[in-house]
Amino acid sequence: MKTIAPLFTDRDLSWLSFNARVLSEAENDTVPLMERLNFLSIFSSNLDEFYKVRIPKLLIGKKKSLRKIIHKEIVNQQEFFGRILHNKILPQLQKENIELIYNKPIPVFMEGRIIQYFTRHIAPAIELYPLPLKDNFLIKSNSLYQAIFTTSIEGKENMYILKIPTHKVSRFYETDSNNRRHIVFIDDILKKFLPEMYFPNMAVSIWNFKVTRDANINFEKEEDILENLEVYLENREKGKTTRFLYEKDMPLKKLQNLLQVLSIPFRDAVAGSAYHHLKDLNLISIEDEKASYPSMKTLERHTGEGFVFELIDKQDFMIHTPYESYDKVIDFFMEAATDEKVTEIYITIYRTAMNSVIIEALMIAAKLGKKVTVFVELKARFDEENNLKWLRKMKNAGVHIITSIPKLKVHAKVALIKRDKKKYALVSTGNFNESTARYYTDHILFTASSEISNEIETFFNFLLKKRNPLSPDEVSFNHLAVGQFNLMPLILEMIEREIRNHRKGKPSGITIKVNNLEEIIIISKLYEASQAGVKVELIVRSICCLVPGVPGQSENIKVTRIVDRYLEHGRIFIFENDGENKIFIGSSDIMNRSMYDRIEVLCPVYSPELKNEILELITIQMNDNIKATEINVNLDNKPISNNGIPVRSQYDIYDHIHKKFTE
Residues that are catalytic: 411
Is the Cβ–Cβ distance between 574 and 615 less than 8 Å?
yes
In contact, 441 and 502? CB cutoff 8 Å:
no
| C-alpha–C-alpha distance, residues 126 and 512, integer Å | 52
Number of C-beta neighbours around residue 6 at 10 A: 9
Q: How far is CA 59 from CA 56, 65, 87, 412, 503, in A?
A: 5, 12, 35, 31, 45
Strand, coil or helix: 493: helix
Q: Which contiguous run of DSSP H or E holds residue 150?
A: strand 144-151
The Cα–Cα gap between 327 and 341 comes to: 21
What is the β-pairing status of strands 567-568 and 440-447? Answer: parallel
Neighbours of 18 (CB within 10 A): 22
Residue 192 CA to residue 156 CA, distance in Å, equals: 22
- Collapsing DSSP to helix, strand or coil, 37 comes out as helix
For helices 64-84 and 11-27, the axis angle rounded to 10 degrees is 10
* Sequence-separated (6 or more) residues with CB below 8 Å from residue 68: none
Q: How far is CA 442 from CA 321, 339, 404, 428, 638, in A?
A: 5, 27, 25, 7, 25
- Residue 173's SS3 state is strand
Is the separation of the CB atoms in 427 and 413 below 8 Å? Answer: yes
Cα gap 660→591, rounded to integer Å: 35
The residues, any chain, with a CB within 8 Å of residue 167's CB and separated by 6 or more, are 143
Which of 385, 357, 362 has the alpha carbon at shortest distance from 375?
A: 362
| C-alpha radius of gyration, the chain, whole number | 27
